[in-house]
């Protein structure tokens, strides 16, 4: 056992293999918003025959292109579904290895405290389905690590201008995190001397390139208003650093981790150059609203971001390996991984029922999904069925009203005259414009929420019906 723990490559390799396994072995990856992203990718890259009757691509530069760029490259060699699963595997591996890269940039290659970052790879934003954001955050971790190593090189300005633009293309929020961390890092490092500060400020000029790209070539009007959650919601959202689907289990896991960290705090070294960046991330979490224009769960994205940067900023004081601490991390990670695998496996049958039912739809069907409250987000409600109707887009080229299309940072839009049907809160009032209805958890629906229909198929959590005129 001691020999196993002494091999850093074995530990990191094992953690990586376990992290990517769910995205390789399961037919359906039950991330909350993923069906909508998958449907959009099918339409964009020709994997949904007949869907072009209802949807059209608006090819443009938007700060939300990580998955689209990945699938655009890979769909020539593998299916859209396989390309997306590879993207998700790369995303979760990058979150972990980005924290490892930051840790090594700060402390060198011998320290391996960043193993704890594996606990935060299946974080709330990722499991919620914020896939472009999660990939972008992994890029931001790598980019900050590279900045610490190479900021003083003569080629730093053009190199990091390119890197920053790539982070912006992946996701706007990830770029904001990258810029915030770098500016705070350089402000804190200014005390090292005037010449050092001058070089850092000069190198920060690379941020002008993505800023100009965003304001001159990308849509940036958020629209809408600003809404803050309650202080209780802010506190509860801290558990999103470690998970999403099991609020109590996630909270207890985070509490156990915090207690364990407190017990070994005297053995930990902290990279003081990361003090201001971490403070800036914490302040951003407090200040950010829950909704900013059309962007929702804005502050929800910060706890996981903070946790990953914190893992990269801590190290063991002693040179010898902390075997017991690493055994605890691996045990907690293993327990959480087993729970995730068991849940994902138990939900495969539900998704298979939906796919079998959608196979009965005619090509180009118009499908109206109805749920008790389409706006409700309950992570404890299993399996996650938000936007499950979007699977019919890839299966049958169906029209659904709640696809991520026609929104500010999306490449997909509805064709006329179907734009009038687009809504994230479909109701029975839209029934005259559709051919079929999908009742999600029909036992929760009231009679007024259900139009007249003839049953076509049914599963444990749904009824598919042909609408009657």
Burial of 225: CB neighbours in 10 Å, binned 0-12, 13-18, 19+: exposed
Domain ranges of the chain: 2-342, 349-467
Q: For residue 230, which phi and psi values (nearest 5 degrees)?
A: -75, 160
Q: What is the mean pLDDT of residues 367-383?
A: 92
| Closest C-alpha to 31, from 278, 281, 397, 390 | 390
Contact 46, 55 (CB under 8 A): no
Q: Which residue would you say has higher pLDDT here, 154 or 362?
A: 362
Query: What is the pLDDT at residue 325?
Result: 83
Torsion angle of alpha carbons 224, 230, 236, 238, nearest 10°?
60
Query: What is the pLDDT at residue 64?
Result: 93
Side-chain half-sphere exposure of 105, counting CA atoms within 13 A: 23
pLDDT tens, residue by residue, 190-223: 666 666 667 667 778 999 999 999 999 998 766 6
Scanning 193-320, the segments in alpha helix (DSSP H) are 194-203, 208-217, 231-236, 247-263, 275-287, 302-312
Tokens of 147: 């900045």
Pick left, alpha or beta for residue 85 (phi over 0 → left; psi -120 to 50 → alpha; otherwise beta): alpha
Contacts of 412 (CB under 8 A, 6+ apart): 40, 43, 44, 55, 56, 57, 58, 403, 404, 405, 406
With cut-offs at 50, 70 and 90, classify the pLDDT of residue 372: very high
Query: What is the pLDDT at residue 321?
Result: 55
To 5 degrees, how large is the angle CA 435–CA 439–CA 440? 140
């Amino acid at each position: 056992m001691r020999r196993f723990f002494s091999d850093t490559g074995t530990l990191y390799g094992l953690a990586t293999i376990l992290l990517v396994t769910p995205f390789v072995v399961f037919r359906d990856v039950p991330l909350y918003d993923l069906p909508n992203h998958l449907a959009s990718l099918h339409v964009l890259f020709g994997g949904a025959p007949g869907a072009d009757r209802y949807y059209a691509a608006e090819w443009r530069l938007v700060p939300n292109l990580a998955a689209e760029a990945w699938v655009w490259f890979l769909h020539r060699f593998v299916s859209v579904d396989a390309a997306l699963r590879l993207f998700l595997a790369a995303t979760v591996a990058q979150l972990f290895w980005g924290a490892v890269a930051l840790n090594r940039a700060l402390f060198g290659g011998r320290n391996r405290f960043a193993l704890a970052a594996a606990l935060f790879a299946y974080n709330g934003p990722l499991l919620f389905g914020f896939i472009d954001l999660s990939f972008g955050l992994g890029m931001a971790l790598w980019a900050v690590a590279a900045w610490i190593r190479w900021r003083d090189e003569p080629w730093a300005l053009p190199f990091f201008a390119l890197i920053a633009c790539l982070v912006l293309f992946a996701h706007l929020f990830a770029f904001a995190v990258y810029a915030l961390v770098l500016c705070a890092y350089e402000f804190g490092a200014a005390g090292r001397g005037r010449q050092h500060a001058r070089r850092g400020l000069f190198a920060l000029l690379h941020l002008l390139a993505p800023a100009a790209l965003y304001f001159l070539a990308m849509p940036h009007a958020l629209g809408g208003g600003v809404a803050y959650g309650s202080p209780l919601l802010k506190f509860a959202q801290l558990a999103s650093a470690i998970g999403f689907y099991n609020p109590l289990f996630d909270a207890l896991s985070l509490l156990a981790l915090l207690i364990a960290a407190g017990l070994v705090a005297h053995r930990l070294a902290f990279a003081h150059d990361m003090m201001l960046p971490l403070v800036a991330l914490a302040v951003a979490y407090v200040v950010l609203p829950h909704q900013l224009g059309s962007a929702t769960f804005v502050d929800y994205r910060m706890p996981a971001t903070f946790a990953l940067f914190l893992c990269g900023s801590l190290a063991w004081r002693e040179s010898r390996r902390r075997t017991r601490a690493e055994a605890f991390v691996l045990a907690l990670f293993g327990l959480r991984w087993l729970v995730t695998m068991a849940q994902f496996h138990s939900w495969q049958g539900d998704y298979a029922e939906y796919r079998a039912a959608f196979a009965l739809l005619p090509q180009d069907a118009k499908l109206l999904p109805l749920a008790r409250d389409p706006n409700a987000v309950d992570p404890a409600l299993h399996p996650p069925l938000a936007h499950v109707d979007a699977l019919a887009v890839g299966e049958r080229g169906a029209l659904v009203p709640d696809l991520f299309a026609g929104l500010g940072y999306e490449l997909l839009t509805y064709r006329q005259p179907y734009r009038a049907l687009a809504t994230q809160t479909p109701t029975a009032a839209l029934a005259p414009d559709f051919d079929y209805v999908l009742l999600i958890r029909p036992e929760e629906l009231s009679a007024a929420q259900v139009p007249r229909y003839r049953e076509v198929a049914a599963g444990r959590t749904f009824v598919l019906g042909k609408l009657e005129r």
